[in-house]
Structure 1
Amino acid sequence: MVTSVLIVGATRGLGASLTKLYSSKPSTIVFATTRSSDPPSSHDSNNKKVNWLVDIDIASPDVGRKLTSQLPSSSKLSTVIISAGYFGSETFDNPDWEKELKMYATSAIGPVFIVHHLVNAGHLTQGSKIILVSSESGSITLRHEKEGGGNYGHHASKAALNMVGKLLSLDLKEKGVAVGLVHPGFMRTEMTRNVGFDKYWDDGGAVTPDEAAESLASFIEDFDLSRTGQYWAPRGPRDIGTAEVVLGKGLPTPLQLPW
Structure 2
Amino acid sequence: MTVSVLILGATRGLGASLTKLYASKPFTTVFATTRSSTPPSSPSFNSKNVYWLVDIDIASPDVGQKLISQLPSSTKLSTAIISAGYFGIETFDDPDWEKELQMYTTSAIGPVFIVHHLVKGGFLGQRSKVILVSSESGSITLRHEKEGGGNYGHHASKAALNMVGKLLSLDLREKGVAVGLVHPGFMRTDMTRSVGFDKYWDDGGAVTPDEATESLASFIDDFDLSKTGQYWAPRGPRDIGTADVVLGKDLPIPLELPW
TM over 0.5: yes
Q: Which residue of 1 aligns with 2:178?
A: 178
**Counterpart Cα distance in 2 of 1:115 and 1:224:** 17
Contact conserved, 2:137 with 2:143, CA < 8 A, in 1?
yes
Letter paired with 1:164: V
Cα offset, 1:247, TM superposition: 0.4
1:129 aligns with 2:118: no
Q: Distance in 2 between matches of 1:84 and 1:73?
A: 24
Residue in structure 2 matched with residue 100 of structure 1 by the alignment = 100
- 1:19-44 Cα shifts (integer Å, max 9, x gaps): 00000112110000000000001223
Partner Cα distance (1:147, 1:43) in 2: 40
Q: Tell me which moved more, 182-191 or 35-44.
A: 35-44
Give the superposition deviation at 1:45.
Answer: 6.9
* Rounded Cα–Cα distance in structure 2 between residues aligned with 1:26 and 1:34: 23
**Distance between the aligned counterparts of 2:48 and 2:190, measured in 1?**
24
Name the CA distance, whole Å, in 2 between partners of 1:128 and 1:156. Answer: 28
CA deviation map 1:169-218 (0-9, x unaligned): 00000000000000000000000000010000000000000000110000
Runs of 4+ with >4 A deviation: none
Counterpart residue number, 1:109 = 109
- Assess if the C-alpha contact under 8 Å between 1:20 and 1:46 holds in 2: no
Q: Distance in 1 between matches of 2:11 and 2:228?
A: 27
1:231 is aligned to 2:248: no
**SS in structure 2 at match of 1:146:** coil
Letter in 1 for 2:74: S
AA in 2 matched with 1:13: G
What residue number does 1:26 align with? Answer: 26
Match of 1:145 in 2: 145
Structure 2 letter corresponding to 1:88: G
CA contact (8 A) 2:28 2:49 kept: no
Contact conserved, 2:20 with 2:45, CA < 8 A, in 1?
A: no
- Residue 252 of structure 1 pairs with residue 252 of structure 2: yes
Deviation at 1:229, TM superposition (A): 0.1
TM-score normalised by L of structure 2? 0.99
Corresponding residue of 1:74 = 74
Whether the aligned pair in 1 keeps the contact of 2:32 and 2:50 (CA below 8 Å) is: yes
Which consecutive unaligned segments of at least 5 residues does structure 1 have?
A: none
> How many residues of Structure 1 are paired with residues of Structure 2 in the alignment?
259
Q: SS at 1:52's partner residue? A: strand
User: How far is 1:46 from its partner?
Assistant: 5.4
Mapped to 1, the partners of 2:43 and 2:235 lie a distance apart of 30
AA in 1 matched with 2:120: N
Cα RMSD over matched residues? 0.8
Q: Any gaps of 5 or more consecutive residues in structure 2?
A: none
**Do structure 1's residue 218 and structure 2's residue 200 form an aligned pair?**
no
2:114 and 2:43 map into 1 onto residues whose CA distance is 30
Q: Which amino acid aligns with 2:180?
A: G
Equivalents in 2 of 1:133, 1:24: separation in Å?
Answer: 21
